[in-house]
């Protein structure tokens, strides 16, 4: 686990995020993703069928995960690579730091990896006296800022170009202070130059994996920048760190998933670089790493198999759920307090760090259902958030007023005649009270709602009575 999970103070985080003017400005950029994904899906008539195919591949693999892990391991060893299993974050950190020390590494470059964030790898590497350099532009920016990613594919989405300029001026002291960094391409050019030297100097390169292929023993990374490739091709060793559910059976299966991944993530038909790496450099190869290691992390995932949260293990980390989430769009990723934000984070976080720590996140949903509508592997995210809410309630972790309110609601809901009478009365009363403006700027017991927006006044009839008037009796 990363050093500080602020998930238990989720509500306070949200209030801070909603009143942070700078963050609210930056988050407007997050709104471009949805349109791009829709256009890419529109352009491919087979897209919906591919989503079904992607889901089926993941379900099949998870149901046979033990056997595919063994098959994958055999192929990696056959190609001259090494496989290391890690039960938890600490074990994984120890393995990676041990490998780096064994190489006598002074510096390591890193491709973007959410698993690295999950296990807090950079801090462990640096504690061993080794420099860890993030090379994905977004990751590099947040590393300079000593922050965590606020989005799983756009880690610095909460940062503006002006923030980046300040960060670069502070970090790149060796460059002339009068240089112009007013345009984004100048910022990119500067990062390219600074990081190029880091790539060439690194002793080991650490990447994540989007997929691990049992058929060939290959690890697959998908990037647009090419940073993951320079990370793995230049140093003496390539270390892959991936969680066990990244396995897919064959190259064909990877092709199915790749077709939905880029479209769901950035709206591209294909990411610029999709790289399959199999073992270390071979006889006659003029470049490539001499050592190839894969660290396979469990960290709570095997316990999710076979249970009500197993579907979450289908996730391919595209970020579409957060790109379409009204809650994420409003509060950004940091409010979620741990590594994984948005709807996928709300479901995964309690599984990985426990319901006591992460149990508040599943409440961060309006249940609008857009996340499930766009999920490339059709994970029923709202249903699983409901499961977590039930667990939180059953374990007595939800706050007393909420428990009292739900109890009162249940009393009425279990008595339909009384419920109709009471809601009918309330709707008429609120209609009369609010008829002048049609909305309430404040309301008793609803301060949390009216603090950020008005409460619309009911129009005088309940939903049930209007339904009956329109469609006849409720069956």
Partner 1 sequence: MSARDSVLAGVRRSLGVTGTEAPRRFEVERRLAEAPAGVVPERGQGDAGQRLATFKAEAERAQASVAEVATRAEVPAEVARFLRDANCPATVRMGADPRLAAMPWSETALEISSGPSDGHDLNAVSFAFAGIAETGTLALVSGADNPTTLNFLPDNHIVVLRRADVVADYEAAIARLRAAYGKGGAPRTLNLVAGPSRSGDIEQTLLLGAHGPRRLHIVISD
Report the site for partner 1 in 31-70 (rule: CB under 8 A): 32-33, 44-46, 49-50, 52-53, 57, 60, 63-70
Q: Which of residues 116-135 bind partner 1 (CB under 8 A)?
A: 135
**DSSP labels for 398-409?**
S-HHHHHHHHHH
Q: What is the largest CA-CA distance in the chain?
A: 85
Q: Which residue has the tokens 């690890």?
A: 219
Nearer to partner 1, 351 or 462 (CB): 351
381: its two tokens: 């995210």
Range 59-64, long-range pairs (CB < 8 A, 24+ positions):
59/314, 60/249, 61/245, 61/247, 61/248, 61/249, 61/253, 62/245, 62/305, 62/310, 62/313, 62/314
Nearer to partner 1, 196 or 403 (CB): 196
Among 2, 215, 420, 460, binds partner 1 (CB under 8 A): 215
Query: Per CB under 8 A, does 395 bind partner 1?
Result: no
Strand order from edge to edge, sheet including 82-86: 82-86, 291-297, 237-243, 204-207, 107-110, 131-134
Q: How many CB atoms are located within 10 Å of the residue 12 CB?
A: 12
Among 117, 229, 311, 372, binds partner 1 (CB under 8 A): 229
Number of residues interacting with partner 1: please give it, by CB under 8 A.
106
| Window 419-458: contact mask with partner 1 (x via CB under 8 A) | ----------------------------------------
235 DSSP assignment: S
Among 348, 253, 283, residue whose Cα is nearest residue 310: 348
CB of 346 to partner 1, least distance (A): 22
Q: Which of residues 78-117 bind partner 1 (CB under 8 A)?
A: 79, 83-87, 91
Query: Per CB under 8 A, does 273 bind partner 1?
Result: yes
CB-based contact 105:128 (threshold 8 Å): no
Nearer to partner 1, 226 or 399 (CB): 226
Q: Which of residues 1-30 bind partner 1 (CB under 8 A)?
A: 26, 29-30
CA 204/CA 109 separation, integer angstroms: 7
Among 14, 244, 371, 430, binds partner 1 (CB under 8 A): 244
Q: Which of residues 149-168 bind partner 1 (CB under 8 A)?
A: 154-157, 160-161, 164
CB-based contact 244:297 (threshold 8 Å): yes
Among 264, 266, 351, 360, binds partner 1 (CB under 8 A): 266
CB of 441 to partner 1, least distance (A): 35
CB of 460 to partner 1, least distance (A): 45
CB of 316 to partner 1, least distance (A): 15
Among 207, 168, 206, residue whose Cα is nearest residue 188: 168
Nearer to partner 1, 226 or 438 (CB): 226
| Window 275-294: contact mask with partner 1 (x via CB under 8 A) | xxxxxxxx-xxxxx------
Nearer to partner 1, 65 or 175 (CB): 65
**DSSP labels for 250-285?**
-HHHHHHHHHHHHHHHTS-SS-SEEEEE-SS--TT-
CA 295/CA 9 separation, integer angstroms: 32
Q: Which of residues 302-321 bind partner 1 (CB under 8 A)?
A: 302-307
Binding window for partner 1 (CB under 8 A); candidates: 186-194, 314-322, 325-333, 351-359: 186-194
**DSSP labels for 445-458?**
T-HHHHTTSPEEPP
Binding window for partner 1 (CB under 8 A); candidates: 255-263, 380-388, 400-408, 430-438: 255-263
CB of 102 to partner 1, least distance (A): 18
Nearer to partner 1, 250 or 402 (CB): 250
CB-based contact 243:297 (threshold 8 Å): yes
Cα dihedral 272, 274, 279, 280 in deg (nearest 10): 0
Among 98, 102, 129, 184, binds partner 1 (CB under 8 A): 184
Among 23, 144, 209, 214, binds partner 1 (CB under 8 A): 214
Binding window for partner 1 (CB under 8 A); candidates: 75-83, 362-370, 387-395, 462-470: 75-83
CA 301/CA 303 separation, integer angstroms: 5
Among 70, 25, 40, 320, residue whose Cα is nearest residue 163: 25
Q: Which of residues 343-382 bind partner 1 (CB under 8 A)?
A: none
């Amino acid at each position: 686990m990363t050093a500080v999970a602020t998930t238990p103070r989720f509500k306070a985080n949200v209030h801070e995020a909603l009143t942070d003017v700078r963050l609210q400005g930056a988050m407007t950029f997050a709104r471009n993703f949805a349109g791009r994904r829709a256009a890419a899906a529109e352009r491919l008539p087979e897209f919906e069928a591919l989503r079904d195919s992607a889901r089926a591949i993941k379900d099949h693999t998870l149901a046979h995960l033990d056997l595919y892990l063994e098959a994958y391991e055999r192929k990696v060893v056959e190609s001259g690579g090494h496989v290391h299993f890690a039960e938890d974050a600490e074990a994984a950190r120890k393995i990676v730091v041990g490998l780096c020390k064994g190489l006598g590494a002074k510096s390591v470059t890193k491709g973007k990896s959410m698993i690295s964030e999950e296990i807090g790898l950079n801090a462990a590497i640096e504690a061993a006296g080794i420099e860890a350099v993030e090379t994905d532009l977004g990751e590099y920016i947040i590393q300079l800022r000593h922050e965590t990613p606020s989005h799983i594919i756009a880690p610095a989405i909460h940062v503006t170009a002006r923030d980046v300029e300040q960060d670069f001026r502070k970090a790149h002291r060796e460059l002339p202070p009068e240089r112009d960094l007013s345009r984004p391409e100048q910022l990119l050019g500067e990062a390219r130059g600074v990081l190029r030297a880091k790539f060439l100097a690194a002793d080991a390169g650490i990447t994540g994996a989007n997929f691990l292929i049992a058929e060939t023993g290959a690890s697959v990374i998908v990037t647009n920048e090419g940073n993951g490739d320079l990370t793995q091709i230049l140093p003496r060793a390539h270390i892959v760190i991936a969680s066990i559910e990244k396995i897919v059976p064959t190259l064909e299966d990877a092709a199915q998933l790749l077709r939905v991944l880029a479209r769901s993530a950035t709206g591209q038909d294909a990411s610029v670089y999709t790289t399959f790496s199999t073992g270390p450099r071979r006889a006659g190869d003029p470049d490539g790493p001499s050592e190839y290691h894969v660290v396979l992390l469990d960290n709570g995932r095997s316990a999710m198999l076979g249970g009500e949260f197993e579907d979450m293990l289908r996730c391919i980390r595209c970020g579409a759920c957060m790109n379409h989430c009204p809650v994420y769009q409003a509060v950004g990723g940091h409010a979620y307090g741990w590594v994984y934000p948005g709807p996928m984070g709300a479901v995964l976080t309690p599984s990985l760090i426990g319901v006591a720590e992460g149990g508040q996140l599943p409440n961060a949903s309006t249940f609008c259902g857009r996340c499930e509508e766009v999920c490339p592997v059709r994970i029923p995210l709202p249903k699983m958030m409901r499961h977590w809410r039930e667990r939180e309630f059953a374990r007595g972790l939800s706050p007393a007023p909420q428990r009292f309110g739900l109890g009162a609601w249940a009393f009425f809901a279990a008595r339909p005649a009384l419920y109709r009478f009471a809601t009918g009365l309330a709707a008429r009363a609120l209609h009369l009270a609010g008829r002048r403006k049609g909305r309430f700027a404040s309301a008793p017991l609803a301060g949390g709602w009216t603090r950020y927006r008005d409460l619309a006044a009911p129009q005088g009839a309940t939903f049930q009575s209007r339904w009956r008037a329109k469609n006849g009796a409720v069956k």
